[in-house]
Amino acid sequence: MTDMERTTLHIVGGDSRSRAEQARIAFALGHHAEVYGDLGELIERPPDEGLILAADEDLAVPARMLVDRLSASGIWLPVVLAAHEPTVERAVEVIKAGALDYLALPLEMGSFARRLGSILGEAETFTRRRRREIEARHAIGQLSRREREVLELLSEGCSNKEIAHNLSISPRTVEIHRGNMMAKLGAGHAADAVRLWMDGCADGTLAAHAEEGPVLPGGEEGIAGRIGEPHGTLPPRVRRFQRQ
């Protein structure tokens, strides 16, 4: 058993042998493991604590779809994806989509223990952020299309007059939409509404930026270092990863 805080690993997808081996390692490290055949089974019994370790089985499916599906189901636990042949390109996509890490299968106990310690160190902050994002998206989802447009322009620093010009409506109509929007969001000040928009990355300009993902320190090379050292003999865009 390690001296890190005990947690529950929710092991999702992949074949039964792989899930059993991951669970064995989790228990050997002093953690608890829950096993699910697929994502649907996890969503049927949504956990409220721990860490999700999901097999990245269908590489043709955008990683963001998995994270978004969890979010839509009210599950905001940290997510780590794992694959038998991870690549830099997929790792970039996975981490941009919101996963904390991308691991190589099969797991090796020593390196996984070290990586898990780092992941758990980030997990609390991640969970708080994801909870805010999901709650913000839910709140913004209650707005009408026009109210969302007003909020988006407000978040860009536009005045009521500028919003009216951009939307081809009167300033008085902007005031009405803005008042309704603030009431629905329970925002006492414009800054509160803008903060919700930023947290939720609702559809619009901010959503487009969100799809691009955050700026990642070190770019793809930095992410490659988190997954495994690439073989120097391979071309820069085609790499294989050493087992953990």
Question: Which ranges of the chain have pLDDT less than 70?
Answer: 1-4, 201-244
In this structure, whether the domain defined by 8-129+214-227 belongs to CATH 3.40.50.2300 is answered with yes
What pLDDT is attached to residue 137?
Answer: 84
44 vs 39, 40, 73, CA distance in Å? Answer: 9, 6, 9
CATH number attached to the domain at 142-201: 1.10.10.10
Give 119-168 pLDDT, tens digit per residue: 888 877 777 777 788 788 889 999 999 999 999 999 999 999 999 999 99
Q: How far apart are CA 161 and CA 158, in angstroms?
A: 8
Each domain of the chain, given as residue ranges in start order, spans 8-129+214-227, 142-201
Give 96-110 pLDDT, tens digit per residue: 888 889 999 999 999
What pLDDT is attached to residue 155?
Answer: 92
Cis, peptide link before residue 62, omega less than 30° from 0: no
C-beta pairs of 218-223 under 8 Å, 24+ apart in sequence = 220/88, 220/89, 220/91, 220/92, 223/88, 223/91, 223/92, 223/95, 223/102
Joined tokens for residue 220: 């793809």
SS3 98: coil
Q: pTM for this one?
A: 0.61
